[in-house]
Structure formats: C-alpha cells, structure tokens
Amino acid sequence: MEDSGTPLSNLLCNENESCLQEKYNWKEENFEIYPVSESDCDYIESLIQRETSFQASGSECSLKEKRSWFKCARLDAIKWILDAKGLFGFHSSTAYLSMIYFDRFFSRRWIDDEKLWAIRLLSVASLSLAAKMEECEVPGLSEYHTDEYNFEGHVIQKMELLVLNTLEWRMSYATPFAYLNYFTTKFCGEFRHKELITRAIDLLLAVMEEIDVSEHRPSVIAAAAVLAAYDIQLTKKLFEIKINAIPSWGHLEKENTFSCYSLLQKIAMLKSNTPISNISGNSLSTNSSSIDVLDDTITGSGTKRRLTYTDGDPSFPLHKVPKS
C-alpha cells in the first residue's frame, strides 16, 4: 500500500462530541439457550477444525514481553472498544473480533516511537471492520469519535485498507461467543441459566486484557469461560470430568483449557474482591502463570514488519517496510 505522506494535521478534523448523534443505545446480549442437536455438534466441530490460524509465531514476542508503553496502549484500546460497543449497541462478539484484528495486525507489523494516536486509529479501524462482519446495522465512519482525536472518515478508511491488506483479507474468524450455547449444554446440563451466560460473557471480555487473543483458540477460551462461570472453584477431578464431555479434544486442548480456567479463576476472584488465597487447595493451580502455560503450549513461525513514519510528516503511520 502506497504512503501518501499525509501530514499529521490533516488526519484530524474539527468535529466535537456534539457531532455524534445519540441514535445508538446499549442493547442486551440476546443468547438463547437451546438443546444441541447432532447438526449443531457437527457445525461446532467444523468451527474448531478451522481454528488452526490461532497460534503463536515463534519469531514474535508474546504480550507479556512487549514494551510497557504498548501494553498500556493496548489496554486503553480495549477500554475504548468496549465503551464504543456500549455506545453503538454492538454485540460482545464484535468487540472480541476487533481485538483479534488488532492483535493479528501487531503480529505482522509494529508502530514505533510510542505513536499512541496511531494505535487509537487502529482500534477504530478494527472495530469498524468487525462491526461490518458481525452487525446488521453499522455507524458511518465519521461517527467513531474518541476523546483525544477525531479522525476523518477517509483516514479511518485508509487504516481499514491497511488492516485488510496486512491480514490478507482474511477477516472471518470464529469468536468464543459462537461456542457458548454448545459448551453450556455440554458442561452444565440443566443448569443453563441466563446468569451463567452473562458471567461467561463478562469473563470473555475481561480475558482480552490478559492475553493476545489472536494466539489462543476461541473454543478453548469459551470452554474455560463457561466452566469458570459455572463454578469458579472446580477441583481438578471435577474439571477433568467436565472437559471429557468433549470427546474430540486431546491432551493439548484439555491442558490449554485447564490453564485458561486457572487464569479466569484469578480474574473472577479479583472482580469479586475475593482473595486468591481463598481458593480451595483442591481446586486448580499451576506452578507458573497461566499466560506462560498458554503461550508455551502453542508454537509456530512467522515474520513481522514495521510501520515507519517517513516521507513528509514523521508522524504518519502508513508507510510499509519490506519484510526483513
């Protein structure tokens, strides 16, 4: 993609918050719990088989190893995406899919020199693209506003094109939300209350802050979230009984789910202000952090390209550098 050398001043517009009409309202997640048929099981198995793209790349640094400024910027991006989700009434799957795009973009490119506004622009473009994939109604690009910057529509569109090209136009990914009904039925039987789904959704959104979502299989994250929503203090024996309800899963999937459950266990304890030390000694525990286990059990290979800020204004982030 060619770099136009657009000055930084041209990327911002003079609109203010009053330009955004309050026509989008928060809408409640509408997850219906229904029996799982044989065709449903076949469909879920096909989704799981297509998750091979969710793997860490050996040449990439994991989220815990990235520079502190980027980790802070990523958390800020997640906060903005979740706020925008509420404002526009998007589904939770849209927010999660936007973070898949965001993290997958950074698995192939990088933004130097702490250009926080460029990361915000990427978060806007990622959410806009995800909305086009997941939502029936989407806002115009000019309606995506941030507290710090007001990006013009054509600038967001240009970043959208960069994301599309970087991800090679592969934008259709399953999110953990596609598996919620399936795992709720498999693990929880008659205990399939709406409150359980609500807790699972909260955990799925919370875990985005802790892991690179492009590296971890959505089915694994979903299974762990449902189990954590069902019982945050499962013993190892009960966990193994529950997870054995998925006959196609082998040792690796079960270990990854085990590790993710442990991470969600800690998240739930923190959200409820319950000391982690209160977790039963018979419940799940790991010697190293859950993120370490999740990262170490998935391998792969790949390369990353950087975004530099040359040709005209040094702040413009859309110049493409050849692969090293």
Domain coordinates in residue numbering, the chain: 61-173, 176-296
- Which one is predicted more confidently, 26 or 113? 113
185 — pLDDT class (breaks 50, 70, 90)? confident
At CB < 8 A and 24+ separation, what contacts does 35-43 make?
35/185, 36/181, 36/182, 36/185, 36/186, 40/182, 41/182
Least confident span in 27-41, 221-235, 278-292 = 278-292
- Which one is predicted more confidently, 132 or 7? 132
pTM listed for this prediction: 0.75
Q: Is the pLDDT of residue 43 over 80?
A: yes
List the structure tokens of 304.
Answer: 């990353």
CATH architecture for segment(s) 61-173: Orthogonal Bundle (1.10)
Report the alpha-carbon distance of residue 192 to residue 32 in Å, rounded. Answer: 10
